[in-house]
Structure 1
Amino acid sequence: MTSDSNSTARGPVTRAALTVLLLCGLAGATACGKTISVTDASDAPPAAASAATQPPAAQPPAGQSGQPTSNSALQVVDSTAAQNGLTGTGGTVVGAAVQEAPPKWVQLSAVQSPRLGTHLINVNQATLYRFDKDTAQPSQSNCADDCATTWPPVTIVEGGNVYLAGVDPKRIGAIRRQDGQAQVTVGGWPVYRFSGDVKPGDTNGQGVGGTWFAVGPTGEKSAP
């Protein structure tokens, strides 16, 4: 995907049933982000609730090492893993490989392609997708068992970091899946990769079953 470029798309805040604390440190842009709590659908407040009415989360220091913090909150960092001195994938696997354990960190990047327009990829340049049978308000995944084998959820170890490129940190959230793992959401929508995408830039999951679509930087369905 050498022709892809980072998107600068921004949008209004989506209230995704999570506790938010903005972290815009004085050290510079690489420390700017937020802390989010992993939420259960049953614990989610009404969709119309304002974040101003929700209790503040405890604020651990913004992680720069890629290692999990000591609590279950996730750090959303408004810069890439490389900009924070990290190499590798954080443990994110490729294609049909089974994600045996949640990655220590994940990265979401907005790119453009002629077929999909602006959409998200992970650190391995795998296209990320959303499922029409999920819900965004409240955020909830309805893809489990065999579905989750075909469409592996984008999971992360609790206390890990979510790094971003061209994505508004306010759009990022996390839910607890039925198996107890934390899954990343964008605009309230749980995000997945497709086991049928084996090469960087593959988009074989687009339109599958009329319910799976590449996800954009605000959680929308991507289209050229």
Structure 2
Amino acid sequence: MTLPLHSYSAARRPVGRALVASALVLCGMAALSACDKTISITDKAAKPAASSPAAAAPASSAPASGAPAAGNSALQVVDSSAAQNGKTGNGGTVVGVAVQETPPQWVQLSAVQSPDLGSHLINVNQATLYRFDKDTARPSHSNCADDCAVTWPPVTIAEGGNVYLAGVDPKQIGAIRRDDGQVQVTVGGWPLYRFSGDSRPGDTKGQGIGGTWFAAGPTGEKSVK
């Protein structure tokens, strides 16, 4: 399914919930379940070696290919927005420098357009989401921990939670277990992060930092123009 993208203005106005909802192409209500999928959490202990055949799998299939550890709770990927599913608020996702003390019960990933970056992802708070060149997508693995994860908070989610989508292909969504035990959402195999320096909706202050941090596109690609 090809889904339309939402837009920022040149002044980077916040993307309102009404805009996200109005621009989203939804599956018919009768067929909604066919648009959703369940994903397993790829445990770090099950991460294939770089030279293994599994490591050569396409990035879009990598998130779902790892065998989860016993007891891991699967996540549900829902091909419609949180609001369309009766959710209000932000599920517990924090903003800017605020510490994500507990994982959100649900997250939303939306694809938007901006004059500077083209197509890229935001969360339910309209915060830009980033990828790190020093991570890997085949297999999915985060190399941002400790102080790095304070500056670049991982997009985490509670086990058994829902990932709501607007303009993102459900096939691109995966999840990994970080070294600290938290579950991090991936797109196209790439782990997703916020930037603590982005305090307002539409901020992209993390773009290009260190030559390794870039806004993430809907399939995990770098969003650069």
> TM-score, normalised to structure 1's length?
0.79
Which residues of 2 match residues 160-199 of structure 1 at below 5 A? Answer: 160-199=161-200
Cα deviation, residue 33, structure 1: 1.3
Task: Report the alpha carbon displacement of residue 164 of structure 1 after superposing the two structures with TM.
Answer: 0.3
Establish whether residue 44 from structure 1 lines up as the match of residue 47 from structure 2.
yes
Alignment of 1:1-224 (within 5 A): 3=9, 27-29=30-32, 32-45=35-48, 46-48=54-56, 72-224=73-225
CA distance in 1, matches of 2:66, 2:186: 20
Between Structure 1 and Structure 2, the one with more helix by share is 2
Q: Distance in 2 between matches of 1:91 and 1:146?
A: 22
Checking the alignment, whether the CA contact within 8 Å between 1:111 and 1:121 is kept in structure 2 is yes
Aligned equivalents of 2:203 and 2:66: distance in 1? 41
Q: Report the number of matched residues.
A: 194
User: Hey, what's the Cα distance between the residues in 2 that align with 1:141 and 1:56?
Assistant: 17
Deviation by residue 1:145-180 (Cα, 9 ceiling, x = unmatched):
000000000000000000000000000000000110
Alpha-carbon deviation of 1:40? 2.0
> Deviations for 1:7-30, whole angstroms, at most 9, x for unmatched residues?
x9xxxxxxxxxxxxxxx9983337
Q: Which runs of 5+ in 1 are unaligned?
A: 9-23, 58-69
Counterpart-to-counterpart distance in 2, 1:206 and 1:55: 30
Q: 1:114 to 1:140 in 2, by over 3 A?
A: same
Could you tell me the percent identity over the aligned residues? Answer: 76
Contact 2:127–2:202 (8 Å) recurs in 1: yes
The whole-number CA distance in structure 2 between the counterparts of 1:86 and 1:71 is 25
Bigger Cα displacement from structure 2, 83-92 vs 40-49: 40-49
Report the residue type matching 1:214 in the other structure: A
Q: What whole-Å deviation, never above 9, does each CA across 1:76-97 have from its counterpart, x for those lacking one?
A: 0000000101110000000000
Secondary structure of the corresponding residue to residue 120 of structure 1: strand
Q: Aligned-residue CA RMSD in angstroms?
A: 2.6
Deviation at 1:47, TM superposition (A): 2.6
Shift of 1:55: 9.9
Q: Measure the CA separation in 2 of the matches of 1:223 and 1:116.
A: 5
Give distance in 2, aligned partners of 1:118 and 1:94.
21
Moved over 4 A (4+): 54-57
SS of equivalent to 2:30: coil
User: How far did 1:223 drift?
Assistant: 1.5
